[in-house]
Amino acid sequence: MATKATIFKADCQIIDLDRHYYQDHALTLARHPSETDERMMLRLLAFAFHASDALTFTRGLSSSDEPDLWQKDLTGTIERWIELGQPDEKRIRKACGRAQQVIIYCYSGNSARIWREQTGARLANIRNLTVLNIPPQGGKALAQLAQRNMQLQATIQDGAIRISDNAASVEVTPETWQLS
């Protein structure tokens, strides 16, 4: 019998001084059996950076046709496609054709840098693609905040994010590799 996803709940207060966005979100994250706490928390970080009432978590690892998060308008048009990891070039181009904006969060240190070296030049001319890299220590520190029920505050200022709970605080500044 297949292992089921583990459900995490996060009450997240988002204070985005860069976008002037201030909102509380009650989030449910389903962690796929093959997903790590680090990757799940990076999905939460990506949500905080792009938070809106229309941004939703998808089936993610359970589906090959969906990103980790997306934002659709009322007509079903994909406004924002957010993916974690190191997708292949074909998947990125397909996403860029389907969505108005595609954002990739790389996070695995040296393998992410190798991925960038191999794909960066071929993706450089895509106008609606942003690629960000999360430093390895940032992802590992975020994983330490993972709990089944979380009360978090995310403060975003000058492109950096600080995610805190009652006991700890983690600051992450993504490195911009490509900006659309």
Residues 101-124: pLDDT tens digits? 999 999 988 999 999 999 999 999
Q: Is residue 162 part of a domain?
A: yes
Q: Is residue 42 part of a domain?
A: yes
Assess whether pLDDT exceeds 90 at residue 92. yes
Q: Is residue 141 part of a domain?
A: yes
Q: Structural domain of residue 95, as residue ranges? A: 6-178
Assess whether pLDDT exceeds 90 at residue 37. yes
**CATH code where residue 84 lies:** 3.10.640.10
Q: Is residue 74 part of a domain?
A: yes
Q: Is residue 1 part of a domain?
A: no
**Residue pointed to by tokens 């904006």:** 101
What's the confidence (pLDDT) of residue 60?
65
Number of domains in the chain: 1
DSSP 31-94: E-TT--HHHHHHHHHHHHHH--TTEEE--GGG-SSS-SEEEE-TT--EEEEEEES---HHHHHH
Whole-model pTM?
0.94
Mean per-residue pLDDT, 15-42: 96
Q: Is residue 103 part of a domain?
A: yes
Mean per-residue pLDDT, 31-51: 95
